[in-house]
Structure 1
Amino acid sequence: MNKQDLKKLKLELAINAKSGIDFIISAAIVWTIIAYIWTLPKEAFTKSIWTFYVGMFMLPLAYLLSKALKTTWTTKTNPLQPLGMWLNFAQLFYFPFLFFILRDNPDYFVMTYVIITGAHFFPYAWFYDEIGYAIFAGIISVGALLVAINVSTDQMYYVPLLMVVCLLLLALWLFISNNRKKGMIVN
């Protein structure tokens, strides 16, 4: 496979999946709920557990959004298709660190979860030929750390709020970029 063929395969995936915008919008909704959870007068451990449970709504919500946005999750003729799922599963290997934080320092669970989630966007920059994923992976990961070390533990809701803002900006970026990519196919 030459470089041009690879570029065409990645472009096909980006257009069919609209560069994963359904997942990004779903994540923005889920992280909005998580931000609310972190405003509640509960122990950090309890908020962390609720955060983890709320995250389970991400996939069903993304599926519903895929129907509304008319995105395609699978392009059976594209040999790169399975890579998208593998890239998503990669973040699961960071969860032991997340559980360690939950046990020893639950005040920073949400920061850790945001960093893991944000960092897992990085390879999608290559997968969809979309630099926005790389940019926001860095902004989210470093931003979460900077927010967390500059607010008190009872203000940790600012960390998921940062995530929401970044996800909404990334969704806008992907919307604009996807329209540009569709124009590349037409021309």
Structure 2
Amino acid sequence: MKSLQQLQRELSISTAKGTPMLYAGILFWFFAGLSYFFIPEDIRFWVYIYGVGIIFPLGILISKILKKDMFVHDNPLSSLAGLLGAMQILFIPVVLIFIAKNPAIIPYVLAVLTGAHFLPFSWVYQTKWYLIHSFAVIGIALISFYIPNGMMVFLPFALAIEYSIITCFLSLEVKRLKAMQGTTSSI
């Protein structure tokens, strides 16, 4: 039977520590930021609502292009990672309340909810980067709340940059894991 550490290492390599989903998040936040310049204010929040719904299928498409397996069927931690990602669906009632009461803060709400959901991935993938990512996303969201037009301009572009940085660090970790795996298998 494989150890927990072996399962985590194998999942990390197979899924590239979930970076295909982060790539999708980068695209989402970047294009959501661009919407400020091209889409009227009264319908802009719909870009966020529909856009956030595209992240998962886009992440799966990116994983196929990168030849990463986001559904590692022979690893029980894959189901856990899937459940942790799927918990975002449970936030829909919160988002619906904000759509009805104050749609202008939808970018802030989505940032905080997505930022919080990344926290347990630090354990699944045995990395500090998801922990840092979780707090950074929420910190950026808080800062954006106090900047004029911060939620519409600063927040999405800052998150696209922050996601990109975290993705680079996670990718480096995956390369190290692959190198270690190659070293140990040749012994």
Counterpart position of 2:140: 143
Query: d(CA) in 2 for partners of 1:103 and 1:149?
Result: 22
SS of the residue 1:35 aligns to: helix
Contact 1:114-1:140 at 8 Å conserved across structures: yes
Alignment RMSD, CA only? 1.8
Tell me the TM-score normalised to structure 1 length.
0.89
Counterpart position of 1:80: 77
Query: d(CA) in 1 for partners of 2:92 and 2:58?
Result: 22
1:146 deviates by: 1.2
Matched, 1:20 2:21: no
Matched, 1:94 2:72: no
Counterpart position of 1:186: 182
Query: d(CA) in 2 for partners of 1:8 and 1:92?
Result: 30
1:41 deviates by: 5.5
In structure 1, which of residues 114, 119, 131 is the aligned counterpart of residue 111 of structure 2?
A: 114
> Alignment identity in percent?
24
Uncovered stretches (5+) of structure 1, i.e. residues with no partner = none
Contact 1:32-1:160 at 8 Å conserved across structures: yes
Counterpart position of 2:157: 161
Cα distance change, pair 100–86 in 1 and its aligned pair in 2 (3 A): same
Query: Which consecutive segments of 4 or more residues in structure 1 shift more than 4 A?
Result: none
Output the amino acid matched with 2:155. V
Output the amino acid matched with 2:80. L
> What CA deviation, in whole Å up to 9, does each residue of 1:127-177 have, x standing for no partner?
111210110100101211112222246x62211111101111111111111
Output the amino acid matched with 2:15. A
Query: d(CA) in 2 for partners of 1:129 and 1:48?
Result: 35
In structure 1, which of residues 61, 64, 67 is the aligned counterpart of residue 61 of structure 2?
A: 64
Query: d(CA) in 1 for partners of 2:161 and 2:97?
Result: 27
SS of the residue 1:130 aligns to: coil
1:75 deviates by: 2.1
Residues 97-106 or 33-42, more deviating: 33-42
Contact 2:48-2:106 at 8 Å conserved across structures: no
Uncovered stretches (5+) of structure 2, i.e. residues with no partner = none
